[in-house]
Structure 1
Amino acid sequence: MLKHSFVVNIGVAPVIAMLLSGCTLDHHRSLPYDAWSLNFFAPDYMEVWIETADVVDINERLYRGAGSGIPAMGYPRALSKGIPAEFRGKPEGWRESPGGKGRRVTGADLPRLVYVRWQSIVEPQTYEAYIEIPESTRQLMRKSEDVFCAFDGKVITDYRKLLVVGLAPGGIAKVWLGGPCLKSTEVTRVQGTINPEGPYRGLSDGEYYFLSEESKSYVDKFGIPYGSW
């Protein structure tokens, strides 16, 4: 079993690297705010370890490591220990207006492509997906909207600058676009492919990131709801 501190230099997929050919040094950013965020989440109990998420913006600039690690998930809870008396999570389907967790892609222009490679630990399997971001999505990211924000207690001008990716067993990657006070809207759904190198680009002797006892127990009892995502 791998420890939490296992770290491997996993690099970037060759296809992403090829996209940089002919890249220009001119860098004109078209977004009307400082940065947009790339966030991730997974369905309850369907634990995921993101090896890397890399971004190519509309200026053909590559941003490696725009995402990695454990995405947001409802269950198991962060401080959960052992197997609960009752499983309260519902992994089937997608939550409404998901948020996820991640980081700001500082310095990048609007996204053209997101590459993500992740371990679906409950299966276990290693997947990768190339997510093309439509121009219609970038237009929404540029557009301001006036909305009442409960956090501020007033009407504010907000932008859809949160790109949210849900990762599910079977290699499914679904994308939403939202704002801090704006409801998320669906962008696209991608069927990822199995990465033949396996976990950590083949550098871990086939060992995956550890699976919690709670999630393992849930899957042993109820299985994985393939087809619901």
Structure 2
Amino acid sequence: MGTSGGCYLRITELPYDSWRLGLGTPNYMDVWIETADVVDVRARVFRRAMSGIGSTQRPKNLDSTNPRGWPEQPGAGAGKQVGGADVPRLIYVRWQSLVEPQTYEAYIVIPETARQAMLKGEKAFCKADAKWITDYRNMLTVGLAPGGIAKVWLMGACLPAIDVARVQGSVVKLGPYGGTSGGKHRPLSAISQAYIEKHGIPYGSW
């Protein structure tokens, strides 16, 4: 992943210590994130800013929910704080879609409008403690769906999510783990397997 691009070099002073990168999926659509790398606006690379299991829900009643489409207000996803980084210019994600199974990668360019939104404080009412505060959209969530779809939102703890980008990823020809696992993906959870066998994968809904 390249880090060139001097035209992007500028220094911003974040109004908070760090921002959060989270990753999740539609219900039952399990993924394993091999890596999520960040390139900030100073062209610095933060490799494996996040990896591991993507957040998902698996209700035991297989007919109680429909994973088609994205929610208006997504969750924060499984994630970590990206410390020491400026606002992001690019996010690279390589993940295993376990329900297919298939390995994908996506390069997600974060637009200037989203970067500016990350620096802007907004008055917000927090239901948790019933107080008005100045909140920031310092949580970037990536939704990963079968077919290689990556959808990105920006939100704050007490601010609603706004759409950032939707990217069609590409198949990683080497397969999972860069071809070192003999084509074997991580196992799919039993309940997600049961859902897929009963309802299938709603491709085209994301």
TM-score by length of 2: 0.94
- The runs of 5 or more residues in structure 1 that have no matched partner are 1-15, 77-83
**Contact 1:20/1:62, CA 8 A, preserved across alignment:** no
Deviations 1:45-104 (A, max 9, x none): 11100000000000000000111111111215xxxxxxx464423211111211212011
Amino acid paired to 2:40: D
Q: Which runs of 4+ in 1 moved over 6 A?
A: none
**Contact 1:119/1:199, CA 8 A, preserved across alignment:** yes
Deviations 1:17-58 (A, max 9, x none): x32587xxx984432111111011101111100000000000
Deviations 1:178-225 (A, max 9, x none): 000111011110000000010011111111111011111111111100
Aligned length: 204
Aligned position for 1:30: 13
**Contact 2:10/2:41, CA 8 A, preserved across alignment:** no
* 3-state SS, counterpart of residue 160 of structure 2: strand
Matched, 1:43 2:32: no
Matched, 1:173 2:150: yes
Matching of residues 88-107 of structure 1 within 5 Å: 88-98=64-74, 99-107=76-84
TM-score by length of 1: 0.85
Aligned position for 1:132: 109
- The runs of 5 or more residues in structure 2 that have no matched partner are none
**Contact 1:45/1:89, CA 8 A, preserved across alignment:** no
Q: For 1:28 and 1:68, locate their aligned partners in 2 and report how far apart those are by CA, in whole Å.
A: 27
Matching of residues 150-229 of structure 1 within 5 Å: 150-229=127-206
Amino acid paired to 1:50: I
Matching of residues 82-121 of structure 1 within 5 Å: 84=60, 86-98=62-74, 99-121=76-98
* 3-state SS, counterpart of residue 139 of structure 1: helix
Aligned position for 2:44: 61
* 3-state SS, counterpart of residue 91 of structure 2: strand
Percent identity for Structure 1 against Structure 2: 56
Q: For 2:97 and 2:196, locate their aligned partners in 1 and report how far apart those are by CA, in whole Å.
A: 13
**Contact 1:75/1:89, CA 8 A, preserved across alignment:** no
**Contact 1:146/1:155, CA 8 A, preserved across alignment:** yes
Give the root-mean-square deviation of aligned CA atoms.
1.8
Amino acid paired to 2:28: Y
